[in-house]
Amino acid sequence: MENKTEFALHFEAKGSGTPLLLIHGFPLSSRMWAGQMEALSSQAQVLAPDLPGFGDSPLSDTVYTVERYAEDCAAVLDALDLLEPVAVGGLSMGGYIALAFARLFPERVGALLLLSTRAGADSAESKANRDKAITGVKEHGASAVTEAMLPKLLAPANYAGQPAMAAEARELMRTASPDGIVAALSAMRDRPDATGQLGNLGVPTLIVHGKDDQLIPSSEAEAMAAAIRGSQLHLIAQAGHLPNLEQPEEFNHILSKFLTEIS
Ligand code: MLT
């Protein structure tokens, strides 16, 4: 099923059962979840939006923040009349947005999936790197960011042994528009520290992280697990920043088991 309206996010939807919102990472799109839509749709209604300026969603002239992206994701649930709590998951930037969603709409979150992400805000150095990346994209286009990210998305061993996977990662970044990238970089740079929120989430929380993540170290996942009471932590071997792509069977099994537990 597909949906496209002029002012709303484009999203992919498949399956029925527990509603599961999956928010993609930067600078990717809903297509990164293709394997999960296939594997989980027998037990969940999987919903995967394209954030503005990525995939098939247009960018408006709003100033984007992680909260604004969360509001756009809530509008996807509204469009489907999903007013009861749902499972909200996000990978990396998608995780920052999932945490913003939980801040803004706690009554709409039945469970949380924090995938390859962190709770903290950007350091001063990371903020300066975001600004450099924004300048690079304005001067040279999207490839200034996508080519720099490509060698860091997967575990080093997967670049060596799985060239098709690296090609797929590059393909997933193809729809990112320069303006969408700039908006997302600013939103990530300015996101608040969500660490204080972790003790009060009050919903089943699943944390999954690649052991060889080159972009966000797995110690960030361990820190979140220590702060979120009753959370489940899974560290996946031979996986980098995209464990859903790098170790799909193990990743899907973990999510499937979690969905069974919460439904
Ligand atoms: C992502 O994968 O969404 C980004 O790398 C996250 C970030 O840059 O902080």
Read off the pLDDT of residues 223-241 as tens digits, 9 standing for 90 and up: 999 999 999 999 999 999 9
Q: What is the pLDDT of residue 7?
A: 52
Q: What is the pLDDT of residue 61?
A: 87
Could you state, in order of their start, the residue ranges of all structural domains in the chain? 11-262
Domain spanning 11-262: CATH superfamily: Alpha/Beta hydrolase fold, catalytic domain (3.40.50.1820)
| Most informative mutation of 122, 215, 242 for ligand 1 (most atoms within 8 A of CB) | 215
Q: What is the pLDDT of residue 66?
A: 98
Inform me whether the pLDDT recorded for 2 exceeds 80.
no
Share of the chain above pLDDT 70, in %: 97
Residue nearest to atom 9 of ligand 1 (CA): 93
Inform me whether the pLDDT recorded for 215 exceeds 90.
yes
Phi, psi at residue 240, to the nearest 5°? -100, -130
Q: What is the pLDDT of residue 4?
A: 39
Section 157-179 average pLDDT: 96
If you compute the radius of gyration of the chain from its CA atoms, what whole number of angstroms results? 17
- Calpha distance 233→253 (Å, rounded): 14
Residue nearest to atom 7 of ligand 1 (CA): 93
Calculate the CA dihedral of residues 68, 73, 75, 77 and round it to 10 degrees. -160
Place 5 in a pLDDT band, splitting at 50, 70 and 90. Answer: very low
Ligand 1 atom with least separation from CA of 241 = 2
23 has which bridge partners?
90
Read off the pLDDT of residues 112-155 as tens digits, 9 standing for 90 and up: 999 999 999 999 999 999 999 999 999 999 999 999 999 999 99
Ligand 1 atom with least separation from CA of 117 = 6
Section 29-34 average pLDDT: 98
Q: What is the pLDDT of residue 47?
A: 98
Read off the pLDDT of residues 80-108 as tens digits, 9 standing for 90 and up: 999 999 999 999 999 999 999 999 999 99
Give the binding-site residues of ligand 1, using a 6 Å CB cut-off: 25-26, 92-93, 188, 215, 241
- Calpha distance 92→261 (Å, rounded): 24
**Region at 184 (left for phi over 0; alpha for psi -120 to 50; beta for the rest):** alpha
Q: How far is the CA of 152 from the centre of ligand 1 (A)?
A: 11
Phi, psi at residue 12, to the nearest 5°? -100, 145
